[in-house]
Amino acid sequence: MPATSIDPSALIPVLIDEWGALRTLATELGDRSTAASILPGWTNADIIAHIIGTESMLEGRDVDAPADIADRAHVRNPIGELNEKWVEHFRGRPAGNVLDAFDEIVATRSAALQRMSQADFDVDAQTPAGPDTYGRFMRIRLFDCWIHEVDLRDGGIGGTPSAEPVAWVLDEITASLPYVVGKRAQVPMGSAVIFEVTGAAPRTVRIAVAERAGLVDSFDGGDAAADVVLELHAVDLVRLAGGRRTADPSAVTIRGDDELAQAILARIDYLI
């Protein structure tokens, strides 16, 4: 699979702005900061702590993990353990203390990213999606931050998620949809699937299933040859992909093979 080349001058400002959007939401939480979030085992404040923790790890920082961390019901894998130890590190601290930590790490990471060149973004890196480039990792960071903006809004703040990151978010999801269709949903060879994504950055994603499922620009016979079309808003797509309890399969308009569509929707929650 070819390495993913990401233009740092295009992505970095959007990521920094998204951190700003999360910072604004953090100040708006108020009494809801200690309320259970839509994520199992976490409060809304824990989501902010998670953002701090991930960016801190990228700066080479570490904290001690509680002895029982792997036994917690919502911690299901080593990445979950890494996330949880940072959440625990900030849990119960005054809101002002957490916001100061957020501001400090965002300033540090922003400065580090703004010094990076295209060559820096193209270096090999181990990402949450496997070996790729550092730029791909930063696209995943934007993807993760935006999904957590959706989580916070779904957790009681409300409002419309930031529009600017949506195209980047869909680039990242699009890269994984063939895996969902071919590997997880086991869609039969020879099938053609379309995701029609609406919202701030509408797009048509076409997947052809051969020996492996892959993205294609068109099908023989055009879009009418698709076995199934799943039409949904970008926000509903990330809720489904993330397995959020706010995910609503009924928000998907299905045209074509309903059985195929249900198989895909049943296995679309691929995020760790």
Task: Read off the tokens for 138.
Answer: 């930063």
Residues 170, 203 contacting (CB under 8 angstroms): yes
Give residue 83's pLDDT.
85
Other beta carbons within 10 angstroms of residue 27's beta carbon come to: 10
CA quadruple 70, 33, 89, 132: dihedral sign:
positive
Percent of the chain with pLDDT strictly greater than 90: 89
Are 184 and 150 in a shared domain? no
Q: Tell me the average pLDDT across 249-260.
A: 97
Domain boundary among 144, 164, 184: 164
The CATH number covering residue 189 comes to 3.30.1050.10
d(CA 183, CA 212): 8
Residues 25, 152 contacting (CB under 8 angstroms): yes
Mean pLDDT score across all residues of the chain: 95
Are 257 and 201 in a shared domain? yes
Statement: residue 1 has pLDDT above 70: no
The answer to the question of residue 23 being in a domain is yes
Q: Tell me the average pLDDT across 223-246.
A: 97
Task: Count up the domains in the chain and report the number.
Answer: 2
Residues 132, 125 contacting (CB under 8 angstroms): yes
- Using a 10 angstrom Cβ sphere, with 0-12 exposed, 13-18 middle and 19 or more buried, the burial of residue 259 is exposed
Give residue 134's pLDDT.
98
Statement: residue 107 has pLDDT above 70: yes
For residue 63, the enclosing domain spans 8-164
Closest Cα partner for 81 from 122, 105, 53, 120?
53
Closest Cα partner for 241 from 162, 165, 156, 172?
172
Closest Cα partner for 238 from 205, 215, 271, 195?
271
Per-residue pLDDT of 170-226, as tens digits, reads 999 999 999 999 999 999 999 999 999 999 999 999 999 999 999 999 999 999 999
The CATH number covering residue 136 comes to 1.20.120.450
The pTM of this model reads 0.94
Give residue 78's pLDDT.
77
State the distance between the two ends of the chain, measured CA to CA, in whole angstroms. 21
7 confidence band (pLDDT: 50, 70, 90):
very high
Are 109 and 129 in a shared domain? yes
The answer to the question of residue 272 being in a domain is no
Give residue 146's pLDDT.
98
Domain boundary among 164, 187, 219: 164
Are 121 and 177 in a shared domain? no
Q: Tell me the average pLDDT across 86-91.
A: 92
Are 83 and 171 in a shared domain? no
Weakest-pLDDT range from 77-86, 132-141, 227-236: 77-86
Are 145 and 180 in a shared domain? no
49 confidence band (pLDDT: 50, 70, 90):
very high
The answer to the question of residue 116 being in a domain is yes
One-letter-per-residue 3-state SS of the chain: CCCCCCCHHHHHHHHHHHHHHHHHHHHHCHHHHHCECCCCCCEHHHHHHHHHHHHHHHCCCCCCCCCCHHHCCCCCCHHHHHHHHHHHHHCCCCHHHHHHHHHHHHHHHHHHHHCCCHHHHCCEEEECCEEEEHHHHHHHHHHHHHHHHHHHHHHHHCCCCCCCCHHHHHHHHHHHHHHHHHHHCCCCCCCEEEEEEECCCCEEEEEEECCCEEEECCCCCCHHHCCEEEEEEHHHHHHHHCCCCCCCHHHCEEEECHHHHHHHHHCCCCCC
Give residue 71's pLDDT.
73
Are 34 and 128 in a shared domain? yes
Domain boundary among 164, 184, 211: 164
